[in-house]
Amino acid sequence: MNTTKYNGHHVWRRFRRQQLWRQLRANKTAFVSAIVLIALCLLGLLTPWISPFDPTNMQQQNIMDAELPPFWQLGQDRRFLLGTDGLGRDLLSSILYGLKNSLWIGFWAVILQFTLGTCLGLCAGYFGGWADRLIMSLVDFQLTFSSLMLAILVLAITRAAMGAHDYHIWAPWLLVLVLGLADWPQYARTLRASVLAEKHKDYIAAAQVLGYHSRHIMVFHILPNTLSPLLVIATLQVAHVILAEAALSFLGIGMPYANPSLGGLMGAGFEYMLSGIWWIALLPGLALLVLLFSINLVADWLRDALDPKNLGQRP
């Protein structure tokens, strides 16, 4: 152990990870879902290299291959493991790319929410007074909107304003922005409450007496002690954001059909459902289900594992 190295976050994270690791091994459901989640994330990351086709490349598509069934049905084509969609794109590749897009949007939107909510919640809780009143009014104001409604409104307008081509390019960033800005109040509220509880403890007063800058106290003393609930919210929010994005794409205002997410694939496949071509909608839906389920189970375990009551029981 390098004793002269002074890096609070590094040590703290390692400490937590050891604790988390033991609890993860003890919880079979969480362990399996964590493995599934990691596998899905790896698939998403490696998609450009492992996917058999590139669904965004029109030259690889042939309309004559359209609506082929998955491999276990008679008369399938050996090239397309999970069949093809209405445009003749390989469904497996589409699902992999959809997975990548969904995870990408979920990840960055949550990073945005987390940063925004954490900064504002920390300031509101620590400084109090007018900063607190202003930020909390903002939170209450934002909570009066349905975030999905707001997203639909913003996306519909930008899409009309930008035109299809520009929208196609900017869609992922727009979704990250809209979904990221929509849900920060949760973090801010939770964090503010924990900060209020934490800031009256003696070690914060001690830090103030020791003459640390308030920025330093907020980041290095209060934040690490209030991070646990935020991590749980963030994990759950990844699932929430992916779901919201899927809903938007299903409604046709999310990711463009040429570069679909899982929700977009479902939306497109839905038209074929009644003609018995069920796989176009159902298989991406299944992938989404597994993804969200594993995220939620991992978040559930994280909540137990980071519960301060559990931490307090350690000798």
List 57, 58, 203, 304, residue binding other proteins (CB under 8 A):
203
If the CB atoms of residues 225 and 296 are measured against other proteins, the closer one turns out to be 225
Contact indicator for 162, 94 with CB cutoff of 8 Å: no
Q: How far is the CB of 243 from other proteins (least distance, A)?
A: 33
Number of residues that bind other proteins (CB under 8 A): 29
209 forms part of the interface with other proteins (CB under 8 A): yes
If the CB atoms of residues 9 and 25 are measured against other proteins, the closer one turns out to be 9
List 49, 64, 161, 211, residue binding other proteins (CB under 8 A):
211
3-state secondary structure at position 84: strand
What are 90's strand-pairing partners?
84
DSSP string, 112-123: HHHHHHHHHHHH
Question: Taking the CA of residue 29 as centre, how many other CA atoms within 13 Å lie in the half-sphere pointing to its CB?
Answer: 11
83: left (phi over 0), alpha (psi -120 to 50) or beta: left
If the CB atoms of residues 74 and 210 are measured against other proteins, the closer one turns out to be 210
Q: Which of residues 109-128 bind other proteins (CB under 8 A)?
A: 128
Q: Which of residues 12-51 bind other proteins (CB under 8 A)?
A: 12, 15
134 forms part of the interface with other proteins (CB under 8 A): no
Share of the chain residues as helix, strand and coil, in percent rounded to the nearest 5: 75, 0, 25
List 70, 86, 88, 224, residue binding other proteins (CB under 8 A):
224
Q: Which stretch binds other proteins (CB under 8 A): 31-39, 46-54, 69-77, 200-208?
A: 200-208
If the CB atoms of residues 10 and 79 are measured against other proteins, the closer one turns out to be 10
Q: How far is the CB of 294 from other proteins (least distance, A)?
A: 29
Structure tokens of 198?
């934490």
Contact indicator for 132, 120 with CB cutoff of 8 Å: no
Structure tokens of 120?
């504002």
User: How many helices (DSSP H) and strands (DSSP E) are in the chain?
Assistant: 13, 0
Question: What does each C-alpha distance from 102 to 11, 44, 74, 172, 193 come to in angstroms?
Answer: 32, 9, 32, 9, 31
Give the gyration radius of the chain's Cα atoms. 23
If the CB atoms of residues 79 and 213 are measured against other proteins, the closer one turns out to be 213
User: What residue ranges bind other proteins (CB under 8 A)?
Assistant: 1, 3-4, 6, 8, 11-12, 15, 128-129, 201-203, 205-213, 216, 220-221, 224-225, 312, 314
